[in-house]
Structure 1
Amino acid sequence: MDNREQPLNIGSIKGELIAKEMSNFEHSPFQLDGRRFESVEGFYVWLKFTGNEDKQKIAQTLYSYEAKKFGKSSTATSSEYGGETFALGSPQHHALIKRAIQAKLVQHPDIARRFAETHPRPIIHDFGYPEAPSRLPAAAFVKLLEELRDDLVTGRLITELGTAAELSAEAAAIESAKRPQPIAEALRVLAANQDIASESKFATARRHPLLEYASALEESQFKVVGLVAAGTNSIVLELPDNLVLKISSTLLPAKFRRWQFHLHILEKFVVTSSTGYSFQLYTQPKGASPVRPDDFVSFEREVRRMGWELTNPSPTQLCYYNGSVKLHDAFGAYKIITAQS
């Protein structure tokens, strides 16, 4: 099921956070016409005790099932608010409940943002058993929630910190800032292991420094998708957002006693050849020739000539470099060794 079609079941304690937050039982204090209520349910119960100031004061402090339980002692069929008397369960009563939920949303911008982000999912209020008689039946409750969500999405309802769209953009920016930038983070990991690159370290460890780097990077968020075994020594890293970073190393003359590293950003995409095989390609944007179907035909021919088998649908890791498809050590200078995924 498309997530946009997944119902948002308000009040479900086993569901997602926003379904719980939008419940009238939720402890989400708000002010309405100069009075503080700890929950919408507390306001709902408060209306039941018109004329009983002591019980109304208690109702203002309640939330969750304590509020519901407290309200059961009322036998009222009408209420009074702002000098107007109305029947409980009437349109005027429902309009007041809507005002209370609206105040809650305005004063809790994070809840308002998360609620708006559920649009256009259908809203339901279903606990899996027949609905008991209520002065706020599920259909009426859902209708006013849908109206409030529409107001948030269109900007007619604005929270204390701005519109829902503005809040979503701000939240996305904050979340993005928290995430390490992939290339910068890869360089940070490399820098933290820079001593591995010394010639003396390599001689002692009897391992190429890139193998050490690969191990360090595997412990981070990156997936090492390739190692070049000869010629220009390289690690190929798969980064978030389909970015690929190729880190090449060159051993400088002995007097420098260190390795020099070069970085190349590659692009990754999946291409299906004319004979139906799928390949993951890494291309170097600058100077790379366009991908042509004939390249895959010649590539498959060459692989079979070597006695290799191409499997489908498991993709073979490839690099498309300067107009040539490269795989393993069958081709010249640029060699990437990877496992089939």
Structure 2
Amino acid sequence: MNVKEFQEELIAFASEIGIDKIGFTSASPFNELKNRLVRQRELGYQSGFEEKDLDKRTQPKLLMDEAESIIAIAIAYPSKMENAPTGKKGSRRGIFARASWGEDYHTVLRDRLRQLEEFILFHVPDAKVRSMVDTGELVDRAVAERAGIGWSGKNCSIITPEFGSYVYLGEMITNIPFEPDTPFEDECGDCRLCLDVCPTGALVEGGQLNAQRCIAFLTQTKTSLPDEFRTKIGNRVYGCDTCQTVCPKNKGKLNLHHPEFQPDPEIAKPLLQPFLQMSNREFKEKFGRISGSWRGKKPIQRNAILALAHFKEEAAVPELIDLLKKDERPVIRGTAAWAIGKIGSEEGRLALIEAMQKEQDEEVILEIKKGLQFVEEKGIS
């Protein structure tokens, strides 16, 4: 087999099946990356969703003995929503991050990688391949950077000249010795817009993220959100795009060419109040096909409550009171109590007083006290 010729055939095939960018790198260790990951762990900056074994994250040959190359792919997703609905008083709306618009990207990229695998094995029957998307051991961004997909921006995203940072990433380890591509030079220069506008200061410095402070991570947690971040989330129910939307390299990058990623406006920018009484089944039926649903209803519902407090949406108070009285989950009861206080109303004050007399959970009692303090500060008594 002429590897170089086959590599060109593979590149052409990737374009035919809807892969926007494909790059190649060696299966040699990511030594510098390991040093950074060790430092991230020491600082407590990791999200906890990552593979725990740092050797597996940085040594491809631990994942495939005969590994010679890694194929990196990128597929662009849209940055603009057409016919986006507008929220208003009485019908407030939340927002899912752009990476969660349309069909779950894990499904789409795995399908594209499966087609690449079949193409490779048809032409090279004794080839070995192993693909992964997002949840694999390797660090997608590190592979993409070394394979020439784009450069690693200060916002910790891979930035491509063609599509900006609005790209999904995946990779495949193989025993075929493909010719490596040349990495991009960093083009961020002196720009630090993403660092300056990060709502929580999660971007510690260019290329270093404290995931524990990142809204994209915080919106996926299932516990009560720390007070510090509750007013920072705004109307985000999943993820955060701020460090991407301000990036000059993303200007004019609409990426509307993949139909499967076109958002349903009513799902990508949903009404908030229906989340308050939504069943698990209803949530799965409506939102189950998007990637932002992977943690289930609870985090989204908690975020919707915080968003209603952000808007001070009085129309939501009766349903929030209902959650405070009846929901079995302390996180939801407590968040509802906090939100009721933030919105501030006589109806809410009376409900908080009543709940204080009946509540047994210490954390929820603390949230009720916070809520009562809010209404007292507003002069509602």
Which TM-score band (shorter chain)? Answer: under 0.3
- Higher relative contact order, structure no. (Cα contacts within 8 Å, ≥ 6 residues apart): 2
Structure in which a larger fraction of residues adopt helix: 2
The answer to which structure has the higher strand fraction is: 1
State the TM-score, normalizing by the size of structure 2.
Answer: 0.19
